[in-house]
Amino acid sequence: MALDLHADPIDLTAALVDVPSESGQEAELADLVEAALRRDAPHLEVVRNGDAVLARTNLGEPSRVILAGHLDTVPANDNLPVRREGEHLHGLGTVDMKSGDAVFLHLAAAVAEPKHDVTFVFYDNEEVEATRNGLGRIERELPDWLRADLAIVGEPSNAVIEAGCQGTMRVQLRIKGQRAHTARAWRGSNAIHGLYEPLRRLAEYRPRTPEIDGLTYHEGLQAVRVHGGVAGNVVPDDAVLDINHRYAPDRSPEQAEQHLREVFDGYELSVVDVSPGALPGLDAPAAAELVRAAGGQPVAKLGWTDVARFSALGMAAVNFGPGDPALAHTRQENVAISDITQVTQVLRTFLS
């Protein structure tokens, strides 16, 4: 098959969805995207990096914008092939994020002389561990391709601009006890029982809702997993509580860690995973121009996305794509056709 980048983005979305591309298996789709860009967008410089495809204009404009979308999906859940029901497309990747990819691919062919230079980045392995994310490889091997004034990541955002993103941190709180036979439990110290006080602090915790650049972020602190227990007749001597903290981008990872150590003062705490947030950056000229083109009020991104990677490279970054993020990774994944049309129209206006 071949992808027609001049087709309506709705039809292009359906074509992309019907090419399976679970993380680590994006080669077939990357081949099709590369061939389509070389054929339908001859004005672009196109390169291949692993199973990522990159393309850009070189018009000498004073500003450059990145449009970035990942090609991979989570594993299928009896939700392929694509099907259309009324005003929605149903199927794996319709939301996360082949509809966003379709919009970007269509614009790559349709807008040959944008008023900003544009770099298109279609990358691999976003849905798995961060060390495999194609953006990291591109940053190491082709750093010049990730330099711009604004990055637009096509993650689903209900066709509304979501600015910045919150950081995420996962910590483990460990309780040490002493083993004993449950028939003589008084000779031991139950580590699982020792989790009572940390859990009480979590239950009573009131997260911040800071306002940054007029956008309200909602922090969170949740127990997500408990490890412990030896056998049915043994007092456990070790228990671990996994805690996830979503923190607003006005805090650095170091500040977020210090906050957790204050909340759980007196307990052994270790950080096992952390990703920084990204400030909204809506005062950047290109970002402000995008907001005007969208004609609506941007909102805060409460989850973590790759906008944080772009922000760390020194540019403003936003999420803007079709679909409801609450439907991502679900068997019921579907995207409103109106969202695809809306995002296409806004970005066409912004670029041309």
Both tokens of residue 289? 């121009």
Would residue 339 show up in a list of annotated catalytic residues for this protein?
no
**What confidence score (pLDDT) does residue 211 get?**
95
**What confidence score (pLDDT) does residue 303 get?**
84
Cα–Cα distance for residue pair 260/61, rounded to 1 Å: 45
Cα–Cα distance for residue pair 204/234, rounded to 1 Å: 31
Would residue 31 show up in a list of annotated catalytic residues for this protein?
no
Catalytic residue among 126, 127, 257, 339: 126
**What confidence score (pLDDT) does residue 130 get?**
83
Whether residue 10 contacts residue 75, with contact meaning beta carbons closer than 8 Å, is answered with: no
Cα–Cα distance for residue pair 247/277, rounded to 1 Å: 8
Whether residue 19 contacts residue 26, with contact meaning beta carbons closer than 8 Å, is answered with: no
249-279 b/e with 16+ CB inside 10 Å = b?
Answer: bbbebeebbebbeebbeebebeeeebbbbbb
pTM above 0.75, yes or no: yes
**What confidence score (pLDDT) does residue 126 get?**
94
Catalytic residue among 40, 72, 219, 339: 72
- CA distances (Å), origin 233, targets 189, 225, 229, 236, 237: 14, 23, 10, 9, 13
pLDDT by residue for the chain (352 residues), tens only, comes to: 899 999 999 999 999 999 999 999 999 999 999 999 999 999 999 999 999 999 999 999 999 999 999 999 999 999 999 999 999 999 999 999 999 999 999 999 999 999 999 999 999 999 998 889 999 999 999 999 999 999 999 999 999 999 999 999 999 999 999 999 999 999 999 999 999 999 999 999 999 999 998 999 999 999 999 999 999 999 999 999 999 999 999 999 999 999 999 999 999 999 999 999 999 989 899 999 999 999 878 999 988 899 999 999 999 999 999 999 999 999 999 999 999 999 999 999 999 9
Provide CB contacts within 8 A for 47, sequence distance 6+: 53, 54, 55, 142, 145
In the chain, the amino acid numbered 144 is D
In the chain, the amino acid numbered 160 is V
The residue among 247, 351, 260, 253 whose CA lies nearest residue 303 is 247
